[in-house]
């Protein structure tokens, strides 16, 4: 039997953990994705007819965000994103041939034309907009019943991060902003984003909603906020930063 490794075993966006939310140790299989140089951390999907070992359960990774520390979550996040990348690049995007996985550099390489496909992150800007000393702009996505969050969206080809911040704000709520400042970043595995956080100040304009995406948006007083995003999300940390001066995505602190 091969040496045991710590395993991230996923089914969709759920991860196999024991009742204390710890990862299993299993023997390595042929097509497991190796996450560490010493082969001690691996990742794979739960096989179709593989049963869940007794004492273990499948838990959505969003839920683990609330019981794990930042480092544990980021490693799980990396595992789920690499598996997603491998699943989506089984064929060459240039010539259609079946690709081969190059183990030591996370590349899916085409044996026929030589084209290599690497994991990709999607940059996504997220902005907290203040007005005066005691108001922040929060918007409710049409997908959510009660929760309000920040203005966010993907960076487009040829655009700077600051241009993306201005454009998304203009598109979603139709206002102009000023003093855009970088705050922090966070990898976000749903499915493979890099969230890049900014703060900005309201400059001018009336709120007008992009109704396909946003069902409500208002400047809320600090002491009268609606339901907020969950702890561990960068949006939550950004709001706490504005309210209480907490650092955002601080490397040295655990989230809880």
Q: Which stretch binds Zn ion (CB under 5 A): 50-58, 64-72, 109-117, 225-233?
A: 109-117
Q: Is residue 95 at the binding interface for Zn ion, with CB under 5 A as the rule?
A: yes
The Cα–Cα gap between 50 and 32 comes to 14
Our CB check for Zn ion shows the closer of 63 and 116 to be 116
Q: Is residue 221 at the binding interface for Zn ion, with CB under 5 A as the rule?
A: no
Our CB check for Zn ion shows the closer of 98 and 203 to be 98
Q: Is residue 108 at the binding interface for Zn ion, with CB under 5 A as the rule?
A: no
Omega prior to 191 cis, within 30 of 0: yes
The Cα–Cα gap between 241 and 235 comes to 10
Q: Which stretch binds Zn ion (CB under 5 A): 92-100, 120-128, 152-160, 240-248?
A: 92-100
Our CB check for Zn ion shows the closer of 95 and 256 to be 95
Q: Is residue 115 at the binding interface for Zn ion, with CB under 5 A as the rule?
A: yes
Check: CB of residue 8 under 8 Å from CB of residue 30. no
Number of residues that bind Zn ion (CB under 5 A): 8
Alpha-carbon torsion (195, 116, 14, 142), positive or negative: positive
The secondary element (H helix, E strand) that includes residue 235 is helix 234-244
Our CB check for Zn ion shows the closer of 85 and 255 to be 85
Q: Classify the phi-psi angles of 232: left when phi > 0, otherwise alpha if psi is within -120 to 50, otherwise beta.
A: left
In whole angstroms, the minimum distance from the beta carbon of 95 to Zn ion comes to 3
Q: Is residue 253 at the binding interface for Zn ion, with CB under 5 A as the rule?
A: no
Q: Which stretch binds Zn ion (CB under 5 A): 4-12, 53-61, 101-109, 112-120?
A: 112-120
Our CB check for Zn ion shows the closer of 15 and 110 to be 110
Q: Is residue 222 at the binding interface for Zn ion, with CB under 5 A as the rule?
A: no
Alpha-carbon torsion (25, 29, 34, 39), positive or negative: positive
Q: Is residue 91 at the binding interface for Zn ion, with CB under 5 A as the rule?
A: no
Our CB check for Zn ion shows the closer of 113 and 256 to be 113
b/e 27-60 (16+ beta carbons within 10 angstroms → b) = ebeeebbbbeeeeebbbbbbeeeeeeeeebeebe
Q: Is residue 243 at the binding interface for Zn ion, with CB under 5 A as the rule?
A: no
Q: Is residue 110 at the binding interface for Zn ion, with CB under 5 A as the rule?
A: yes
Our CB check for Zn ion shows the closer of 106 and 115 to be 115
Q: Which of 113, 225, 243, 256 binds Zn ion (CB under 5 A)?
A: 113
The Cα–Cα gap between 181 and 156 comes to 19
Residue 202, CB-side half-sphere exposure with 13 Å CA sphere: 19
**Interaction site with Zn ion (CB under 5 A):** 92, 94-95, 97, 110, 112-113, 115
């Amino acid at each position: 039997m091969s040496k045991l490794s710590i395993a991230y075993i996923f089914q969709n966006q759920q991860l196999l953990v024991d009742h204390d939310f710890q990862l299993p140790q299993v023997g390595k299989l042929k097509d497991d994705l190796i996450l560490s140089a010493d082969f001690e951390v691996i990742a794979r999907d739960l096989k179709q007819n593989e049963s869940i070992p007794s004492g273990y359960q499948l838990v959505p990774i969003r839920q683990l965000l609330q019981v794990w520390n930042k480092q544990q979550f980021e490693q799980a996040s990396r595992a789920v994103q690499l598996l997603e990348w491998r699943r989506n690049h089984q064929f060459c995007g240039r010539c259609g041939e079946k690709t081969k996985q190059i183990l030591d550099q996370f590349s899916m390489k085409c044996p026929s034309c030589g084209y290599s496909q690497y994991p990709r992150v999607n940059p996504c800007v997220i902005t907290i907009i203040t007005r005066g000393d005691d108001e922040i702009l929060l918007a409710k996505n049409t997908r959510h019943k009660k929760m309000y969050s920040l203005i966010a969206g993907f960076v487009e080809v040829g655009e700077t991060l600051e241009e993306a911040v201005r454009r998304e704000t203009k598109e979603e709520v139709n206002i102009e902003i000023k003093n855009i400042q970088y705050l922090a970043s966070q990898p976000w595995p749903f499915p493979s984003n890099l969230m890049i956080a900014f703060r900005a100040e309201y400059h001018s304009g009336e709120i007008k909603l992009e109704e396909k995406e946003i069902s409500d948006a208002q400047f809320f007083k600090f002491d009268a906020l609606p339901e907020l995003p969950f702890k561990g999300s960068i949006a939550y940390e950004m709001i706490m930063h504005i309210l209480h001066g907490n650092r955002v995505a601080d490397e040295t602190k655990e989230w809880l």
